[in-house]
């Protein structure tokens, strides 16, 4: 162990560490800017009563944790990946009987002062397990069976998260499909995935009948264009017709069914709010309470996004300066220390600051991908892509939400949003990668 | 290990997502200035700071009008939790139902997050109680000061005017300089000098949080502007004279105007009936205003500049001047009059019968001989130097206009009326082109198609006193802190030379007017030791009562200036339907002259003041209407207060009426009203009082003339 201690810094990718530290410090500064109320700064940081002091503490804990991870043998992660996954699933299941009710979520277990959100933590375990599975010698990812198993690994915690009213966290798990894509998942899956998303959005935007007519028109035009080939290959016709049928089916039946039976009204409302349409309230099928809830939520959601856009938009090109943001300092933006922390940057430092932060994240992501590609072991590479995918999804969805591009999905901005679990989760995710990368010459299975 | 291109695809996806976000950020932050504005709206409260309005002083630097403070109880609907509403209701004397009503209406008006007025202008007892216990109701309720006007001498309501909330027409007219809820001068001097009196408003920018709570100044007050207090006005007004004049007119219909001839400065201007201007400030403002507005006697109406009366014999001095200047009479001219003028195939009666009362110009003026001035008028109009009667009449009318009759003088009050001196085309039309000097001979004695405002008659006195010039009558002598940009007073510095009439002619007329008081028709106006030059007027007028045109009791006129040798004051007094000029108007004018020139009145004269002041002169028909209206109002008030017994039983005890006058409030409360119903004021404030029974007789062409 002593020998290893000396070598702890050997092979570590310091660029990643620096990027990590930089973003985390910017995060604490933003939380400071958002929650500082003219108290003494030093005692504010020491008191542990302010949000920024707690976030600092979490960062310190994260650094300790990171040190421990760097001291751990890389083989530990491959060896325990499956075990950890089961541990994570059990934690997720434990939430159902033991969860505490906090702000509309059912995903948090509380021990005294300490709150744990297994759905958040589980990302690490899923990432490890997925990497483990994909790197096994007997896994042939070209086979459908393997692909289904991989998808199952990822979707199980997603489903559990949805059942805990954490749609946002559940969606994060879909980002692992990028890893699978890297490992050979047919492009068609991503294409179909994107097309499906496009179809759903079109369903929300367009009148159902109009969309059906459009789909039919596209099908007919395709048939007309391909009529020569059709004569030779009847299957294409069948394919086109079945695609058409599936599309219309999704549009006319699947989406409405999904919206009315699977999703909660407030989630549907958020999705509608994102595409800029009002949720069609149907008094005949909905209870009065539901309608009231939807109306409340509608107001709250549009208020959040509106205030967030005002805060960011008012920052202008170069921003108002630290602690000068009127919108973020006087609580106009709800949830601004957590999900809407980006507003502080947007208002205080304007387009320059926002772009700089975005470039920091871009650098982090590209560095991770670069690191991933230099791994000799599949496990490390898959794991690295997993980290990149999760961070990418978080950053894009979170920032997109604050500027009104994507629905208000409550997921944090990696390393910046206030919250211990999220910060520690990303710390662990990243430092396991750094640990694995330090041993990149080793082939891990 | 395989498929390097997939790495590129993933990098491409990441990169394009970042680019999308960057573009979006660029659009939001650099290309959308509206977010900056919205952020300002969100977080910066713009508070207008209202400066103190300027004060109006009289000629002795006594404030005719001052600023005081009234207290409003404000409500902040979001912060009502835990407030002892029952306790508050007890102090305010309202029930919880009324409380909820007010709460709801204030939320509807200003929203939950903004304070609204819960009770305006708290009466003193309530304010004292609340001040002691307001801590119990904070922060849901708080007290706020609001500056209002107060009138220490309780006079000059008509000329000072009042301030009130701006309406949409003012907003538009001022290009939205004002905001909804601002106060501005609506009538009188308050309106005319509004830009000077209001001062410069300041603006204070303060940061507020998401609950609309103020959290500090914005950018350390970099953008704040300070309020500049309104500038005060120094006027020619004499509060003592004004008080006396209003005392006379309180229970009469009519007007008094007193002007300093050498400057055109108005010493006093009273319109009867008057009211205490303090009625239109404070908590009872609304009720008092509607009460005054619907009063049959129209106390809100400023008869001094808007009452258009037939001037009667008070025009005779000016006729003499026209005759002299045209050369158709000389100071020695005289005619024999036996009580009527027969020159036009009908008798124009004269009050004097004894021969020799029109033996010379002086005598004719002193005894107000109708025959003499009918004749003079005809001579002037038929003057052979004009080719026909139309030209002669046009020349006559030109004289009258240059005397300030039939034209707007331009006093510094809004909505002055110009009276009437008809032009030739009017007669051409009315008589289809065939008329002569006999047709409108009555103009020579101030009857017929001629009306004048008391202000015009007082100005005419100034012209005669000054022997041919005048300054446009005005109130304001100077503006405090006057700067060169102020043009408001420039118009009043202009000396208007009236005609080329020579001083000797004025001298003759002045002597005649002195005779009027010393030995002629206006002996009751004589004051030992003061040479008053005056002229009585007893103006016939007609009203339509119950659908019939009836001759009403004559208006009593008196115009004068004094001392004759060095005129310091010129006065016009008209008392509606009061009979002979010498009976009421004359003594009123003489008392005012004496008070102004000597500053005090002897005990004997004070008795005379009381005698005149206590005399109520209001047409019976007006009184009746006023009484009927008042009892209706009493019943309505009682019903509003939930007392239905009035319908079955005797009328309930009269509610406290606004105190209009110290001496005669009972009578006044009976109901005052006016006879010549002048044209409705263009002033939006004064809705037309529906009163079809009385109409201005002055506007109707004389019956006699129609026959001829």
User: What is the C-alpha separation between B514 and B419, in angstroms, rounded?
Assistant: 27
For tokens 């004589």, what's the residue? B526
List, edge to edge, every strand of the sheet that includes B202-208. Answer: B44-49, B202-208, B214-217
User: What is the C-alpha separation between A115 and B601, in angstroms, rounded?
Assistant: 94
Q: Contact A274/A406 with Cβ under 8 angstroms?
A: yes
Inside any domain, residue B546: no
State how far residue A101 is from chain B, nearest Cα, in angstroms. 27
Q: Which of B269, B560, B514 is nearest to B409 (CA)?
A: B269
Chain B residues lying within 8 Å of A178, measured CB to CB: 10, 13
Count A/B contacts: CB-CB distance under 8 Å.
Answer: 113
| CB–CB contact B35 A403 (8 Å) | no
User: What is the C-alpha separation between A112 and A106, in angstroms, rounded?
Assistant: 17
Pairing relationship of beta strands B116-119 and B63-75 according to DSSP bridges: antiparallel
A311 contact B CB<8A: yes
- Residue of A187, A313, A353 to mutate, testing the B interface (most B Cβ within 10 Å of its Cβ): A313
The stretches in chain B having pLDDT less than 50 are: 1-2, 649-708
User: What is the C-alpha separation between A16 and A429, in angstroms, rounded?
Assistant: 12
Phi, psi (degrees; rounded to nearest 5) at A187 = -55, -30
B42 contact A CB<8A: yes
User: What is the C-alpha separation between B210 and B571, in angstroms, rounded?
Assistant: 64
Q: How many Cα atoms are found within 13 Å in the side-chain-facing hemisphere of B20?
A: 16
Domain containing B98: what range? 54-198+227-233
Q: Give the residue on B whose Cα is nearest the Cα of A316.
A: B29
Q: Residue B591's pLDDT is what?
A: 94
Closest partner residue to B210 (CB to CB) among A181, A332, A385 is A332
pTM greater than 0.90: no
For B290-305, write each residue's pLDDT tens digit.
Answer: 888 888 888 899 999 9
Q: Please give, one letter per residue, the 3-state secondary structure of B576-612.
A: CCCCCCCCCHHHHHHHHHHHHHHCCCCHHHHHHHHHH
Evaluated on CA atoms A104, A106, A109, A112, the torsion sign reads positive
For B652-708, write each residue's pLDDT tens digit.
Answer: 444 444 433 322 222 233 333 333 333 333 444 443 333 333 344 333 344 333 333
User: What is the C-alpha separation between B591 and B373, in angstroms, rounded?
Assistant: 29
Q: Contact A246/A200 with Cβ under 8 angstroms?
A: no
Question: Three-state SS for B556?
Answer: strand
User: What is the C-alpha separation between B125 and A128, in angstroms, rounded?
Assistant: 79
Inside any domain, residue B279: no
Q: Residue B475's pLDDT is what?
A: 94
Query: B563 preceded by cis ω (within 30°)?
Result: yes
Inside any domain, residue B74: yes
User: What is the C-alpha separation between A14 and A12, in angstroms, rounded?
Assistant: 6
Provide CB contacts within 8 A for B93, sequence distance 6+: B126
A340 contact B CB<8A: no
B219 contact A CB<8A: no
Q: Contact B159/B192 with Cβ under 8 angstroms?
A: no
Inside any domain, residue B192: yes
Evaluated on CA atoms B578, B581, B586, B587, the torsion sign reads negative
Chain B residues lying within 8 Å of A312, measured CB to CB: 25, 28-29, 35
User: What is the C-alpha separation between B14 and A387, in angstroms, rounded?
Assistant: 13
Q: Contact A27/A55 with Cβ under 8 angstroms?
A: yes
Q: Which of A24, A31, A382 is nearest to A176 (CA)?
A: A382
Inside any domain, residue B324: no
User: What is the C-alpha separation between B392 and B377, in angstroms, rounded?
Assistant: 10
Question: Three-state SS for A139?
Answer: coil
State how far residue A233 is from chain B, nearest Cα, in angstroms. 31
Inside any domain, residue B141: yes
CATH code of the domain containing B140? 3.90.1310.10
Closest partner residue to A312 (CB to CB) among B20, B29, B44 is B29
Tokens of B394: 């046009």
Inside any domain, residue B158: yes
| CB–CB contact B21 A358 (8 Å) | yes
Pairing relationship of beta strands B202-208 and B214-217 according to DSSP bridges: antiparallel
Strand partners, B150: B66
Q: How many domains does chain B have?
A: 1
Phi, psi (degrees; rounded to nearest 5) at B50 = -90, 125
Please list the pLDDT of chain A residue by residue as tens digits (445 residues). Answer: 444 444 667 788 999 999 999 999 999 999 998 888 777 888 878 878 888 899 999 999 999 999 999 999 888 999 999 999 999 999 999 888 877 766 556 777 877 777 778 888 899 999 999 999 999 888 788 888 888 999 999 999 998 888 887 777 888 898 998 899 888 888 888 888 878 877 876 777 677 788 888 888 988 888 888 888 878 888 888 888 888 888 888 888 888 887 777 777 766 766 665 555 666 666 566 666 666 766 666 666 677 888 888 889 888 898 888 888 777 777 777 778 888 999 999 999 999 999 999 999 999 999 999 999 999 899 999 999 999 999 999 999 999 989 888 777 778 999 999 988 889 999 999 999 999 999 888 777 6
Q: Residue A84's pLDDT is what?
A: 94
| CB–CB contact B39 A313 (8 Å) | yes
Cβ density class A48-57: b for 16+ within 10 Å, e for less: eebbbbbbbe
Q: How many Cα atoms are found within 13 Å in the side-chain-facing hemisphere of A372?
A: 28
Inside any domain, residue B108: yes
Q: Which of B590, B595, B531 is nearest to B558 (CA)?
A: B590
Q: Residue B695's pLDDT is what?
A: 40
């Amino acid at each position: 162990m002593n020998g290893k201690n000396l070598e702890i810094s050997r092979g570590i990718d310091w660029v990643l560490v620096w990027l990590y530290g930089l973003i985390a410090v910017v995060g604490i500064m933003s939380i400071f800017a958002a929650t500082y109320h003219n108290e003494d700064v030093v005692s504010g940081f020491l008191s542990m009563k302010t949000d920024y002091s707690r976030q600092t503490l979490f960062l310190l804990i994260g650094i300790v944790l990171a040190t421990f991870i760097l001291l751990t043998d890389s083989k530990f992660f491959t060896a325990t990946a499956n075990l950890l996954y089961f541990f994570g699933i059990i934690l997720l299941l434990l939430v159902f009987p033991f969860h505490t009710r906090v702000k509309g979520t059912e995903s948090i277990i509380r021990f005294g002062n300490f709150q744990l959100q297994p759905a958040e933590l589980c990302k690490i375990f899923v990432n490890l397990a997925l990497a483990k599975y994909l790197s096994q010698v007997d896994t042939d990812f070209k086979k459908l069976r393997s692909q289904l198993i991989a998808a199952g690994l990822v979707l199980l915690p997603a489903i559990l998260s949805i059942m805990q009213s954490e749609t946002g966290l559940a969606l994060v798990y879909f980002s692992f499909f990028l890893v699978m894509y890297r490992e050979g998942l047919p492009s068609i899956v991503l294409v179909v995935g994107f097309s499906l998303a496009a179809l759903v959005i079109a369903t929300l935007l367009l009148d159902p009948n109009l969309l059906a007519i459009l789909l039919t028109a596209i099908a007919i035009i395709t048939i007309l264009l391909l009529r020569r080939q059709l004569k030779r290959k009847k299957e294409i016709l069948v394919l086109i017709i079945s695609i058409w049928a599936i599309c219309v089916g999704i549009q006319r039946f699947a989406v409405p069914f999904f919206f009315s039976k699977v999703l909660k009204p407030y989630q549907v409302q958020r999705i509608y709010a994102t595409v800029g349409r009002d949720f069609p309230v149907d008094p005949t099928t909905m209870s009065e309470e539901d309608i009231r809830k939807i109306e409340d939520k509608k107001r709250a959601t549009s208020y959040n996004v509106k205030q967030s856009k005002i805060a960011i938009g008012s920052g202008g090109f170069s921003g108002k300066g630290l602690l000068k943001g009127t919108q973020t300092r006087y609580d106009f933006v709800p949830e601004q220390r957590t999900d809407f922390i980006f507003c502080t940057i947007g208002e205080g430092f304007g387009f320059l600051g926002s772009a700089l932060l975005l470039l920091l994240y871009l650098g982090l992501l590209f560095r991770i991908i670069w690191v991933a590609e230099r791994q000799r072991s599949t496990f490390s590479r898959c794991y690295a892509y997993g980290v990149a995918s999760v961070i990418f999804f978080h950053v894009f969805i979170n920032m997109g939400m604050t500027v009104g591009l994507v629905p208000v999905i409550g997921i944090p901005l990696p390393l910046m949003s206030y919250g211990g679990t999220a910060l520690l989760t990303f710390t662990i995710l990243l430092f396991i990668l750094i640990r694995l990368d330090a041993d990149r010459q080793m082939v891990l299975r | 290990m395989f498929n390097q291109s997939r790495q590129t695809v993933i990098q491409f996806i990441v990169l394009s997502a970042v680019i999308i976000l960057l573009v979006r950020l660029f659009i939001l932050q650099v290309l959308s200035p509206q977010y900056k504005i919205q952020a300002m709206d969100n977080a910066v409260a713009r508070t207008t700071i209202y400066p103190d309005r300027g004060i109006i002083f009289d000629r002795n630097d006594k404030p005719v009008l001052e600023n005081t403070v009234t207290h409003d109880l404000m409500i902040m609907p979001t912060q009502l939790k835990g407030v002892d509403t029952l306790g508050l209701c007890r102090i305010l004397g309202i029930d919880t139902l009324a409380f909820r009503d007010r709460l709801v209406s204030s939320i509807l008006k200003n929203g939950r997050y903004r304070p609204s007025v819960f009770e305006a202008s708290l009466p003193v007892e309530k304010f004292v109680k609340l001040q002691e216990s307001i801590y119990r109701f904070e922060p849901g309720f708080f007290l706020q000061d609001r500056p209002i006007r107060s009138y220490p001498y309780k006079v000059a309501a008509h000329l000072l005017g009042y301030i009130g909330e701006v309406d949409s027409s003012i907003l538009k007219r001022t290009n939205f300089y004002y905001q909804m809820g601002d106060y501005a001068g609506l009538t009188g001097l308050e309106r005319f000098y509004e830009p000077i009196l209001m001062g410069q408003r300041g603006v204070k920018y303060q940061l507020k949080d998401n609950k609309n709570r103020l959290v500090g100044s914005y950018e350390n007050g970099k953008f704040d502007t300070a309020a500049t207090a309104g500038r005060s006005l120094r006027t020619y007004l004499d509060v003592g004279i004004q008080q006396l004049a209003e005392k006379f007119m309180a229970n009469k219909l009519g007007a008094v105007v007193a002007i300093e001839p050498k400057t055109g400065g108005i010493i006093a201007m009273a319109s009867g009936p008057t009211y205490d201007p303090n009625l239109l400030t404070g908590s009872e403002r609304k009720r008092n205003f509607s009460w005054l507005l619907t009063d049959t006697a129209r106390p809100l109406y400023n008869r001094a500049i808007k009452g258009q009366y037939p001037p009667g014999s008070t025009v005779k001095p000016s006729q003499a001047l026209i005759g002299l200047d045209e050369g158709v009479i000389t100071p020695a001219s005289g005619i024999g009059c036996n009580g009527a003028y027969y020159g036009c195939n009908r008798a124009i009666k004269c009050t004097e019968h004894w021969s020799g009362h029109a033996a010379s110009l002086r005598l004719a003026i002193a005894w107000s001989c109708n025959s003499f001035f009918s004749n003079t008028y005809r001579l002037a109009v038929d003057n052979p130097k004009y080719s026909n009667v139309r030209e002669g009449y046009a020349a006559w009318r030109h004289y009258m206009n240059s005397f300030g009759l039939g034209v707007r003088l331009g006093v510094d009050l809004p909505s002055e009326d110009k009276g009437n001196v008809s032009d030739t085309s009017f007669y051409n039309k009315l008589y289809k082109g065939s008329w002569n000097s006999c047709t409108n001979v009555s103009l020579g004695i101030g009857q017929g198609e001629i009306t004048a405002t008391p202000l015009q008659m007082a100005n005419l006195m100034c012209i005669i006193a000054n022997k041919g010039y005048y300054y446009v009558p005005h109130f304001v002598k100077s503006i405090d802190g006057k700067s060169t940009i102020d043009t408001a007073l420039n118009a009043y510095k202009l000396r208007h030379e009236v005609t080329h009439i020579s001083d000797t002619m004025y001298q003759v007329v002045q002597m005649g007017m002195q005779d009027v008081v010393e030995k002629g028709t206006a002996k009751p106006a004589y004051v030992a030791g003061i040479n008053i030059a005056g002229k009585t007027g007893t103006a016939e007028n007609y009203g339509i009562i119950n659908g019939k045109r009836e001759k009403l009791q004559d208006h009593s006129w008196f115009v004068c200036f004094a001392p004759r040798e060095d005129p310091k004051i010129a006065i016009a007094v008209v008392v509606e339907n009061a009979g002979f000029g010498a009976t009421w108007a004359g003594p009123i004018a003489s008392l005012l002259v004496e008070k102004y020139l000597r500053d005090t009145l002897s005990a004997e004269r004070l008795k005379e003041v009381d005698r005149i002041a206590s005399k109520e002169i209001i047409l019976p028909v007006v009184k009746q209407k006023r009484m009927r209206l008042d009892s209706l109002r009493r019943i309505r008030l009682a019903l509003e207060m939930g007392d239905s017994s009035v319908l079955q039983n005797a009328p309930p005890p009269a509610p406290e009426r606004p105190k209009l006058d110290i001496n005669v409030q009972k009578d006044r409360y009976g109901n005052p009203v006016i006879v010549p119903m002048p044209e409705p004021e263009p002033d939006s404030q004064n809705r037309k009082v529906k009163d079809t029974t009385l109409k201005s007789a002055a506007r109707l062409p004389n019956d006699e003339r129609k026959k001829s």
